[in-house]
Amino acid sequence: MFKPNTLYYSDGYKVGHKRMLAPGTTRLYGTWIPRSLKHAPKGITKIVSFGQQLTVKWLHDEFTENFFKLPLEDAMQFPEDMKLYLGMDYDGEHFKQLHKLQYLPIKIKSLPEGIETDPNIPHMTFINTVDGFAWLTLYLETLISSLAWKSATSATLALQYKRNATEWVMKTDPDQAFLIPFLCHDFSARGLDPFSMLSSGLGHATSFRGSDTLICIPGARYFYNEPKDQVCINSVNASEHSVSTTKIFTVGEKQMIIDWLKEFPTGILSIVADTFDLWKLLVEYLADPEVKALILARDGKLVIRPDSGDPVDIICGKLYPIIEDGIDYSEIPAFFNYKSTNYANKFTEYHIGGQLREKTIDIARKDSKIGLLSKDSFKETYDRGWFYKLYEAEKIGVIETLWNIFGGTINKQGFKVLDSHIGAIYGDSITLDRQVQIYSRLANKGFASTNIVLGVGSFTYQYNTRDTLGFAAKGAWFEINENKLNPTGWMDDAYPKLKSYDIYKDPVTDDGTKKSLKGLCAVYDYASDSEAKIYVKEQCTWEEESQGILRIIYEDGNFHNQTTLQEIRERLKV
């Protein structure tokens, strides 16, 4: 298995920075901070503190297993490679000294995980604990940055999904508020690399329990001390297209549903519904008396999962303008016209209202009950026939179609809630904007938001970068021993002459986003009857730096002030 020396997990330009430090540098202090929301999705105003414990434990394990435990000769292959990489002599003595130390001489402080901050509040600070290892603070930046940004970003996005879900549940179905942790389900694993599956999956799990990202179960135990007799996420028995097609091509789609209902007579069963024709599955197969009876007799819920198309229209139905070209089409939902001269095999469907859409359908592959129709008699047959049902389902959407088949109840708020034996989930192309559109459109049609579970996948958790929340690690303070500039003998170490500098960056060509914090930092949590605020104080004394809500989570190879996923969830309750 590929397990490279951990030193390779860095940017190439880092390897020369030890010699570029100010002469005599003893210690270097830096921050890990989200700098901006200018690239964040609409509605997000704060950043969730999450992932620091995961980052530090992974970092510790990686160095332990793939650097400190390596024989020195193997570990020192890295500086040999750097000679070839840079095309110049390279002194790797500092790496040899780190290997000899056998631990990371670094102190990392963190905000409590599960709180929210404005931009420009440091979520972590770090400083080397052994003089002469200031280069390590710089060197770890690449790993810390690559490990930490996604977990916090995904946790921030998940919390906004939860806020949206909570708002609409409280408007439309507050008696079922217990469903909120399951209304947004993590489907993102297949779009992420293995570590991101873990970090993003745990980020989602800070706000929700619904998830198909299985690595979160052992990950929460290892990195966040969750108990072994519990799981931090849940899901349901569910099909996908490959297993569906093995049944459809052998026994047919209707029989597939019957077989699965009998195979799984209890609990929640989810079936992917658009392998071929979503609307046919709804209006013909689910409405079939035998299938419907099996569904309503189950001790559990059958969940229908569409997976293609515009999610808002599929769930809520299409919105067509009533007036088109000056003609009122309110009472004419659709119109069919023959194209074939032999009256036999094909017709074209025109949807009236909105953009004209033409779809040629081969009647021969449809049910024989359609028969061969003359042009004059087709309109009458269509109005009360099978094709009208398909069109009508597409027009009103999945939720209302299920309501028309299975019914349900009207809650105290006046919104329709599907029968407890049937439900729906949609897991393709969901975004925060579409989530709100779906809830709003359903409410306008008189349906509660609890009728739909949204699968949150790569459109949310993969389409992000470190810049989504502007995360960056920057130096803020350093110290030098001026005796090292002009050595005078053995007394240099016994009587160091120390001088410190507050450092920062502020590019004149930038809009201010990249201006970094200056000096030692402390973060304070201020609350009064009228205001609650987390703020940072720059250019602190060491006494001030020891105060505030930043807590040591790692120092010289040891972990401190550990938290659990359950504690994080409690802090993020909305």
pLDDT tens-digit profile of 257-316?
A: 999 999 999 999 999 999 999 999 999 999 999 999 999 999 999 999 998 999 999 999
Can you tell me the mean pLDDT for 107-114?
98
| Domain that includes residue 358, residue range | 332-383
Domain contains 449: no
Report which residue type is found at 184. C
Report which residue type is found at 538. E
Contact assessment for residue 408 and residue 301, using Cβ atoms and an 8 Å cutoff: no
The strand pairing partners of 554, in sequence order, are 108, 559
Domain contains 392: no
Q: Please give the Cα distance from 52 to 574 (Å, whole number).
A: 22
Domain contains 402: no
Q: Please give the Cα distance from 114 to 226 (Å, whole number).
A: 15
Task: Single out the residue in 324, 356, 383 at which a domain terminates.
Answer: 383
Are 376 and 479 in a shared domain? no
Domain contains 115: yes
The strand pairing partners of 260, in sequence order, are none
Domain contains 391: no
Are 32 and 134 in a shared domain? yes
Q: Please give the Cα distance from 540 to 124 (Å, whole number).
A: 16
Contact assessment for residue 428 and residue 305, using Cβ atoms and an 8 Å cutoff: no
Q: Please give the Cα distance from 385 to 391 (Å, whole number).
A: 10
DSSP 355: S
Domains identified in the chain, total number = 2
pLDDT interval class at 357 (50, 70, 90): very low
pLDDT interval class at 319 (50, 70, 90): confident
CATH code assigned at 525: 3.20.140.10
Q: What is the pLDDT of residues 455-473, one digit of tens each?
A: 999 889 999 999 999 999 9
Domain contains 304: no
Q: Looking at residue 529, what is its pLDDT?
A: 74
Q: Is 476 exposed, middle or buried (0-12, 13-18, 19+ CB in 10 A)?
A: buried
pTM value?
Answer: 0.89
Can you tell me the mean pLDDT for 392-400?
92
In 3D space, the residue among 234, 304, 297, 240 whose CA is nearest the CA of residue 269 turns out to be 304
Q: Is 404 exposed, middle or buried (0-12, 13-18, 19+ CB in 10 A)?
A: middle
Q: Looking at residue 5, what is its pLDDT?
A: 98
Q: Looking at residue 487, what is its pLDDT?
A: 57
Task: Single out the residue in 383, 406, 426 at which a domain terminates.
Answer: 383
Can you tell me the mean pLDDT for 314-342?
48
The SS3 assignment for 322 reads coil
Domain contains 272: no
In the chain the first and final C-alpha atoms are separated, in Å, by 44
Q: Looking at residue 388, what is its pLDDT?
A: 63
Can you tell me the mean pLDDT for 312-337?
56
Residue recorded with tokens 């052992």: 218
Domain contains 439: no
Can you tell me the mean pLDDT for 64-78?
98
Q: In terms of DSSP bridges, do strands 106-110 and 25-34 run parallel, antiparallel, or are they unpaired?
A: unpaired
Task: Single out the residue in 341, 366, 383 at which a domain terminates.
Answer: 383
